[in-house]
Amino acid sequence: MRTLPASLVGLSLALLSPALPAAGKAKVPPAPTAADAHAFVEKMNAEYKAQYLAANAAEWVAETYITGDTEMLTARANEAMLKWLSVKIDESRRFDHVADIDPKDRRALDLLKLQTAMPAPKDPAHLTEATNLASKLTAAYGSGKYCKDDKDPASCRTLDQLSEVLATDRDWDHALDAWSGWHHVGRGMLKDYQRFAELLNEGARDLGYDNVGTMWRAGYDMSPAEFAKETDRLWGQVQPLYGQLQCYTRNKLAEKYGERMPKDGTIPAHITGNMWAQDWANLYPLLQPYPGVGNLDVNEHLDAQRKAGLDAQRKAFKGKPTPLDLAALEHDADMKSAVAMVRRSEDFYTSLGFPPLPSSFYDKSMLLRPRDRDALCHASAWPMDLGSTDMRIKMCIKPTEEDQYTIYHEMGHIYYYVAYKDIPPIFQGGANDGFHEAIGDTIRLNITPAYLAQIGLAGKAGSDDKAVLNAQMKLALEKVAFLPFGLLIDKWRWGVFDGSIAPDKYNEGWWQLRRKYQGLSSPVAATPADFDPGAKNHVPTNVPYMRYFLADILQFQFYRSLCDAAGYKGPLSQCSIYGNKEAGAKYWKMLSQGAQQPWQQTLKELTGKEEMDASAIIDYFAPLYAWLQEQNKGKSCGWE
């Protein structure tokens, strides 16, 4: 517990205590009790909601109406909440050693200390410095561009444009140029990030933790050391499957690129179709087991539905439309298409017995890019008012398969918010942070070819072995390829925070982990002056990443249990719980618990097990796993 310097104790007592009798001694304040702790938690919850409302409303406006004014307003609101949180954490420390506190109150006190990933230093100057660096690093990423000629703005490309090259252009040199250009953006962040990490560690120590990594790992209802071992155990379950996928992918890429491939068994990061090599789905045309078999073109069906709606509007229009009329018709068609895509997702959840969303959800959500202002289109879900049904999503929806699946994911967050809205604010969160990310992705696994055909987004579903293997490969390039990346981001940061990765070894440590877990290598010679971790949004913006690794594990575990609850008996990958109220009731019960009990207990109520279990991934991809092993026979697998 942090204490005042001895020279200030008397002054603080004089300021905070009533005047003492002239000849008397200072009265010792009574020791805090369990009843005091309960009263503190009750008051804290009420204040938490008020602070949250102001900060969240400001943030919503700042992201959907970007101006210098809204940025300033949200900065001030967030600063006020951060200061309030710091004060409350300090006040809560007097209950650290009080016996007989109600378990729910003790959990609330523990969760209070973990409400931010950016622990604030107590030193006011250092707090300001940390806040400024956080904004500077975020801005450096958000405004990052690759310019071939710094004097020619026309030569500059954004992350979106560079990512498009990696996604669509299989030319080695074109991809290398785009990849290297974006990763160079991280160089300017190196010194700022080093200082930022120092300040975060200072804030963590002020809260009683060794470093930020220890603090982040403390949020999982087990010791930080136990949690680190748990992540290694889960990785051990899925590593053999990943190893087979990496081997097959590498050998296919070697057929294409020949002698340009390294001899050590690794895959150069720039030829995976993704800027961070975290998702290899863009390589599917090269890697699909049986080209053209079972092709389910969701994009074609969505685009056709949108065009049909636009044609109907044009036919209904009276007179000859002007250019402004045509623009309005286009916008109306886009909005109707977007709403239909969201309604389609809502239909899946309500088919399970979940409640329909209020009309305010559609009135207040941002579903299209605004025509009259700048807005941040990164998809997100928002609980605007803790304890109410004011939930919203923010997206710039297009009629694409990717956006349709993103909506299913974001609606998972929305229904989690709805399910736990009546519990105290401090408990309104996922059982652990991986749960929140896994809810909608669990529903995503239920989007089978048969389901797509049922809702009119595909033709008659094929179920032959070749079609199944193609579908599994497509999903594995998204889900299985991501697993080691989801793990190593925070493995790297844990090393940075505990000092085992020194500042002059930041980039070297990064690539050691990428090689160890992913079997990837840098396509260029990395130097200590480089800062390739800065090329990934979650590093400069300081967002913990282990939640995504856990979500990748949990979603398959949830899915298998829900299919069991629905009485499904066939191959796991062909299960869909659409329309099954029994499975839905079990899922809803889990969601309604929020964070008010240890996640192990919540997990057991759904799955019957208290530990996360990646075996469901192996079950799901069993056909592909066997096929990969057959394909890799006699091939050189593994990496140095």
Q: Is residue 375 part of a domain?
A: yes
Q: Is residue 19 part of a domain?
A: no
SS3 assignment, position 1: coil
Does 42 belong to an annotated binding site?
Answer: no
Tell me: pLDDT of 424 over 90.
Answer: yes
Distance CA 226, CA 211 (A): 16
458, burial (CB in 10 Å: exposed 0-12, middle 13-18, buried 19+)? buried
Across 76-84, average pLDDT: 82
Together in a domain, 310 and 271: no
- The tokens for 422 are 């009546």
Partners of 393 in beta bridges: 381
Across 459-468, average pLDDT: 75
Together in a domain, 133 and 195: yes
> Which candidate, 441, 380, 381, 387, places its Cα nearest to that of 418?
387
Q: Is residue 471 part of a domain?
A: no
Together in a domain, 521 and 442: no
- The tokens for 541 are 């913006």
Last residue of a domain, one of 514, 544, 574: 544
56, burial (CB in 10 Å: exposed 0-12, middle 13-18, buried 19+)? buried
High-pLDDT (> 90) share of the chain, %: 62
Give the rounded distance of the alpha carbon of 189 from its chain centre. Answer: 22
For the annotated catalytic residues, the residue numbers are 410, 538
Tell me: pLDDT of 122 over 60.
Answer: yes
Tell me: pLDDT of 529 over 50.
Answer: yes
Cβ neighbours around 152 below 10 Å, total: 9
Across 547-569, average pLDDT: 97
Placement of tokens 């000849």 in the chain: 23
pLDDT one-digit tens code per residue, 333-379: 889 999 999 999 999 999 999 999 999 999 999 999 888 877 777 78
Together in a domain, 490 and 401: no
Q: Is residue 610 part of a domain?
A: yes
DSSP β-ladder status, 267-268 and 156-157: unpaired
Together in a domain, 139 and 267: yes
- The tokens for 50 are 């008020």
Confidence grade of residue 216 (pLDDT, cut at 50, 70, 90): very high
Q: Is residue 178 part of a domain?
A: yes
Tell me: pLDDT of 5 over 60.
Answer: no
Mean pLDDT highest for which of 141-155, 311-325, 596-610? 596-610
Give 65-70 contacts, CB < 8 A, sequence gap 24+: 65/370, 65/373, 65/374, 65/375, 66/373, 66/374, 66/375, 66/376, 67/373, 67/374
Together in a domain, 455 and 355: yes
Does 270 belong to an annotated binding site?
Answer: no
Where are the strands (E) in 236-301, listed by range? 267-268
DSSP β-ladder status, 520-521 and 267-268: parallel
Last residue of a domain, one of 492, 516, 544: 544
Confidence grade of residue 11 (pLDDT, cut at 50, 70, 90): very low
Q: Is residue 7 part of a domain?
A: no
Together in a domain, 434 and 456: yes
Does 38 belong to an annotated binding site?
Answer: no
Placement of tokens 């290297």 in the chain: 180
273-294 exposure pattern, b = at least 16 Cβ within 10 A, e = fewer: bbbbbbbbbbbbeebbbeeebb
Together in a domain, 186 and 60: no
Together in a domain, 450 and 575: yes
Tell me: pLDDT of 4 over 50.
Answer: no
Does 437 belong to an annotated binding site?
Answer: yes
Does 409 belong to an annotated binding site?
Answer: yes
Please, what is the average pLDDT of the chain?
Answer: 89
Together in a domain, 554 and 405: yes
pLDDT value at residue 9: 29
Across 466-488, average pLDDT: 94
Q: Is residue 628 part of a domain?
A: no
Together in a domain, 159 and 281: yes
245 in Cβ contact with 628 (< 8 Å): yes
Whether the pTM exceeds 0.75: the reply is yes
Together in a domain, 210 and 306: no
Domain extent, residue 588, equals: 298-461+548-620
36, burial (CB in 10 Å: exposed 0-12, middle 13-18, buried 19+)? middle
Indicate the number of domains in the chain. 3
pLDDT one-digit tens code per residue, 379-407: 889 999 888 889 999 998 988 888 898 89
pLDDT value at residue 462: 57
Tell me: pLDDT of 223 over 90.
Answer: yes
Tell me: pLDDT of 460 over 50.
Answer: yes
pLDDT one-digit tens code per residue, 98-109: 999 999 999 999
Tell me: pLDDT of 234 over 50.
Answer: yes
